[in-house]
Chains A and B, each alone.
Chain A
Amino acid sequence: MQSGRVCLREALEAHFFRGEFSVFIKMQFMLLFSRQGKLRLQKWYVPLSDKEKKKITRELVQTVLARKPKMCSFLEWRDLKIVYKRYASLYFCCAIEDQDNELITLEIIHRYVELLDKYFGSVCELDIIFNFEKAYFILDEFLLGGEAQETSKKNVLKAIEQADLLQENIDFQMRLFSGVMVPNMVSESSGLFQTS
């Protein structure tokens, strides 16, 4: 526990050098991982080494997966607060600063799930696995630098769809593949909203 704190501190101290101070960063990172502990998406809003990122991920996945369903969605972890919520087979997990608003962060997660759901059409874990780049693009339209950029669902989707219109080469095989090649992964293909 202590060592982890030191590592984050070191990273932050490195930034002090350039005048940065941690408190202004709302969200420090967001992780999406499955019930099996597989990381599906990671977004870091503080600069950390790959090694440190892996360590944090490992620890956090373990901690969150060990929690029981009715427990509260917040926990203190190192010097941060973790806000998490499970949607079907996926856990969405954000790290925020001590004085930040937990409930609004919970709704940040929900809005992101709504955006994914709307974009993919009842989203499931498989959509995020096979279209991971899209999941990142949507996140970037919604949150930038750990802060809410645009909270209107319509506006975010408009931005993404505009981008899609700019594309050529629409490939219809995508969906077929995901369905055919992994028929037995029921949990990953169940809609995130269905069981929540």
Chain B
Amino acid sequence: MPAVSKGDGMRGLAVFISDIRNCKSKEAEIKRINKELANIRSKFKGDKALDGYSKKKYVCKLLFIFLLGHDIDFGHMEAVNLLSSNKYTEKQIGYLFISVLVNSNSELIRLINNAIKNDLSSRNPTFMCLALHCIANVGSREMAEAFASEIPRILVAGDTMDSVKQSAALCLLRLYKTSPDLVLMGEWTSRVVHLLNDQHMGVVTAAISLITCLSQKNPDEFKTCVSLAVSRLSRIVSSASTDLQDYTYYFVPAPWLSCKLLRLLQCYPPPEDGAVKGRLVECLETILNKAQEPPKSKKVQHSNAKNAILFEAISLIIHYDSEPNLLVRACNQLGQFLQHRETNLRYLALESMCTLASSEFSHEAVKTHIETVINALKTERDVSVRQRAADLLYAMCDRSNAKQIVAEMLSYLETADYSIREEMVLKVAILAEKYAVDYSWYVDTILNLIRIAGDYVSEEVWYRVIQIVINRDDVQGYAAKTVFEALQAPACHENMVKVGGYILGEFGNLIAGDPRSSPLVQFNLLHSKFHLCSVPTRALLLSAYIKFINLFPETKATIQEVLRCDSQIRNSDVELQQRAVEYLKLSSIASTDVLATVLEEMPPFPERESSILAKLKKKKGPGAVSVTELEDNKREGGELNGGGERGPDTSAMSTPSPSADLLGIRSAVPVGAAPASAGSLLVDVFSEAGPAAVSAAVNDDGFLRFVCKNNGVLFENQLLQIGIKSEYRQNLGRMYLFYGNKTSVQFASFTTTVSCPGELQLQLNVQTKPVEPLVEGGAQIQQVLNIECLTDFSEAPLLNIKFRYGGALQNLTLKLPVTINKFFQPTEMASQDFFQRWKQLSQPTQEAQKIFKASHGMDTEVLKAKLLGLGTALLDNVDPNPENYVCAGVIQTKGQQVGCLLRLEPNAQAQMYRLTLRCSKDSVSKRLCELLAEQF
């Protein structure tokens, strides 16, 4: 079929495209385009009405120009005109233009929607499909508003053509994603599920995407789809390769539909009905068996389609995680792929095995492939495949193979691609820490890490090794000896100097007995590196020196001399100079006892989540580490650093810092200006809490953002996003909370509680139903709160969320943005009334006033929008000064109504505001004033 018979060539367009292609330079191209744009513009503006063909041609040219990457700011109206053409190609081009160059002009949207409406009711299936494609391509809120109720009707109507049904299903899916609140569940939903039984495979293929999405959000309502999906799958799997005619793809029956069916089943737990489950297991076994059969074709398309189904089946098996037999078979199958000649298959096998490694049933089976995986790490030519191999080694690591895996990863690091080094370093550090049986191995590993890939060893890693050495006295001597040896190398990485300086400063005494590492030798070794180091490292070394003076009085004279020399005491860097001055003074004035107290050994660090793990999570997204966390809880129970805290919970503040104040020495340097001691360097990391540790009501910012608006995102971290929509009427409100699981891992035991602390429980009544305890990876659940305001209030209700993520309990408390102003009813009044009431509210307690600096721009429109968002009426022509804003409203509570008047006086010059509130109730004035002062 030559192209020539297809379509209606637009000669002018072809000429134009050729011209563009013949342009020798970018400038020539732009010149040609500008000429064309001028031409089109004049045609569109011309007096002569254009015929449909010309209009189509010019719109198409504009589209081409836009797709080349140039801006187009006209032609929308002409494109909309094409929509109402009777000629199919003109309509088609019109729709294409609209879909690609979406425009938010409301008049245009009205016209577009009208045209779509006409086409949808035309009963011409090709026109209907075009209109549905357009809605699906644009998928805007406005379109959802216009068509969300119409499309389900088309989808389930008995007389709708199959092709229209297919478009309608996916169009509805798109609208549901954009505006789930506008697509209302109803009688159509049950009929949609039965589309899984439709005779037309195309209809099933399209409908199943919609069903999958709907059942992720409403699993109960769509439960019946499980058995339907199983029987459909079973029919496909057992069909001969020719049964499905055109839906057979390179001898594989309906691969796309099979994958979608298997994906749908992953929205649900294993079927409870024994017969259904049996049938499904049979399907999965058949799929696994087919993988062993000789291929029906040599084409890669055949094996890809077949394996696509196989991998999806394996995903389902892993999702169920309850059939040991299937899990092990899946693992063996993937093991075969590990050595396949197709790079794609090796990549996928490594990736898929990562998840298998987390199942207790298949963990051991995965481990048997360790040699192959190590080999892949060493020999694969594609860095993305090597990356997968490293991930898998990390996932399959446990106590039995940790030494081997860590050694392999370390040796791989020497030649690894720069792009993955940092991540590899983190992984090695985590594995070494987690599976350390003896801590000398751990110390060796980390020092090796610094030696091999020092540039990629982040602060978290070397902080951590110090933290562990300090917390474990059995390894301190070994650590001191090892760093001392490592520092002997003529060129050692600065990170090694940092670790060395810190450890010798603390524990140098443990090796000082050996004349080869006597105090002076240690000091000279450290000091030989001093001049090559950056300022922070030098600062750390200076702290190590003062510690030496305490540990080894015999080094005092040498060190004082070093401190006293000009390059220290007059160093241009303030931090270094200050340290030198203070340490020198400290060492010469303080008595041995005082010195010993100030420079005492670091106390043990409080136990917390390894900051390295937090960093890796940040880097990889939570999915990547969940595997090991899971293992952690299953097998280890977190035993590093010997269970629990040793010694008192020493807070960061007790870190010995060379504060002169403590000693009563008033030196010239301001006291307390030397906080950046090595100790506090460490403290910095620990103050950056891992994602798991979230304390009470962390969202003050988030809370205040909602004073003048009702919808938005209340909270977000790496795991969870919480969105809010709310509406209020009189003294009642309704709030919709959307909890979105941002990870790919299920949240278990998900519970939320809303509480009204203290006297708030007498002021506000909040009711809610419990939510589903499971939130699947990527899913979103919704909760509705009904709120009643009994009397005025100042506090905010608290929302507590608890759930388990990969075994770790997450606990989070947020302030819910329910504020007193939400219950405002606007009151319109004339100037005279306003001032009369203003005077009536003249008792000093009724007024609250604040003068504050503008923290945002003082744009009039923004201010107005905020004041309206507050819920009051914004009164024009009331204040004699037109710059000022006055508002009035009544707060509705169950018990009483509180009248409120507000005046906001901006002073643009000074960038200040004066805000005055007068309310019939004192406490309300005060609270509103507090809330509002943060808004402008």
Contacts and interface: CB of A to CB of B under 8 A. Distances in A.
A159 B88 CA distance: 13
A151 B250 CA distance: 13
B711 A140 contact: no
A92 to B, nearest CB: 14
A177 B13 CA distance: 11
Interface string B309-353: 001100100000000000000000000000000011011100000
A107 B308 contact: yes
A175 B778 contact: no
B11 interface: yes
* Chain B contact patch, size range: 35 or more
Contacts of B107: none
A186 to B, nearest CB: 14
Contact of B179 (A18, A50, A75): A18
Contacts of A74: 344, 347-348, 384
A139 B207 CA distance: 18
A20 B177 contact: yes
Interface string A87-111: 0000000000011011110111011
B778 A164 contact: no
Contacts of A18: 141, 178-181
Given A144-B133, A166-B88, A71 B166 contact: no
Which of A15, A16, A102, A149 has the most chain B CB atoms inside 10 A of its CB?
A149
Contacts of B132: 144
Contact of B202 (A107, A108, A151): A151
B3 interface: yes
A132 B67 contact: yes
A19 B738 contact: yes
A168 B14 CA distance: 18
B305 A173 contact: no
Contacts of A140: 133, 137
A106 B302 CA distance: 12
A19 B180 contact: yes
Given A104-B256, A155-B246, 4 more contacts: A39-B69, A106-B308, A133-B92, A152-B247
A168 B8 contact: yes
Interface in B81-96: 87-89, 92-93, 96
A21 B256 contact: no
A178 interface: yes
A152 to B, nearest CB: 4
A151 B67 contact: no
Interface stretch (B16-24, B586-594, B682-690): B16-24
A118 B1 CA distance: 7
A71 B343 contact: yes
A177 B14 contact: yes
Given A25-B177, A104-B308, A107-B305, A145 B87 contact: no
B170 interface: yes
B167 A149 contact: yes
Contact of A24 (B213, B254, B738): B213
Given A18-B178, A47-B139, A152-B247, A181 B18 contact: yes
B329 to A, nearest CB: 19
A150 to B, nearest CB: 5
A193 B89 CA distance: 29
B11 A159 contact: no
A71 B380 CA distance: 10
Given A74-B384, A131-B3, A131-B7, A147 B301 contact: no
Contacts, number: 265
22 contacts: A24-B173, A39-B67, A68-B382, A72-B346, A72-B347, A75-B384, A102-B348, A103-B304, A107-B249, A120-B6, A133-B92, A133-B93, A137-B96, A144-B136, A145-B137, A147-B170, A148-B205, A148-B256, A148-B260, A159-B126, A166-B89, A174-B3
B928 to A, nearest CB: 27
Given A150-B202, A173-B9, A16 B246 contact: no
Nearest to A108: B256
B307 interface: yes
A129 B17 contact: yes
B811 interface: no
Given A75-B384, A130-B14, A144-B167, A151 B247 contact: yes
B305 A104 contact: yes
B442 to A, nearest CB: 30
List 7 A-B pairs, minimum CB-CB distance, nearest first: A174-B9, A23-B778, A171-B9, A103-B308, A166-B88, A104-B308, A152-B246
Given A107-B249, A177-B15, A150 B205 contact: yes
B259 A101 contact: yes
A134 B305 contact: no
Interface in B362-404: 381-382, 384-385, 387
A144 B10 contact: no
Contacts of A155: 163, 202, 246
B64 interface: yes
A170 B5 contact: yes
Contact of A71 (B96, B348, B381, B778): B381
Nearest to A38: B68
Interface of A: 13, 15-26, 39, 42, 47, 50, 54, 68, 70-76, 79, 98-99, 101-104, 106-108, 110-111, 118-121, 127, 129-134, 136-137, 140, 144-145, 147-155, 159, 162-164, 166-175, 177-178, 181-182
A63 to B, nearest CB: 11
B4 A174 contact: yes
Contacts of B178: 15, 18, 20
B77 interface: no
B716 to A, nearest CB: 8
Contact of A101 (B10, B170, B311, B779): B311
B621 A79 contact: yes
B129 interface: yes
Contact of B11 (A108, A133, A174): A174
B713 interface: yes
B533 interface: no
A24 B246 contact: no
Contacts of A173: 9, 11, 14
Contact of A136 (B2, B96, B136, B177): B96
Nearest to A151: B256
B679 interface: no
A170 B8 contact: yes
Contact of A132 (B64, B171, B201, B257): B64
Contacts of B301: 107, 110
Interface in B115-154: 126, 129, 132-133, 136-137, 139, 141
A175 B4 contact: yes
A107 B251 CA distance: 13
Interface string B170-197: 1101100111110000000000000000
Interface in B706-746: 711-713, 716, 721, 723, 738, 740, 744
B60 to A, nearest CB: 6
Contacts of B387: 76
Contacts of B60: 133
Given A16-B738, A47-B139, A150 B166 contact: yes
A100 to B, nearest CB: 9
A147 B206 contact: yes
A166 B17 CA distance: 25
Contact of A102 (B8, B166, B344): B344
Given A21-B780, A171-B8, A130 B17 contact: yes
Contacts of A181: 18, 21-22
B623 interface: yes
Given A19-B179, A24-B177, A137 B141 contact: no
A133 B7 CA distance: 10
Contacts of A73: 343-344
Nearest to B166: A149
Contacts of B67: 39, 42, 132
A99 B385 CA distance: 17
B852 interface: no
Interface in B65-106: 67, 69, 71, 87-89, 92-93, 96
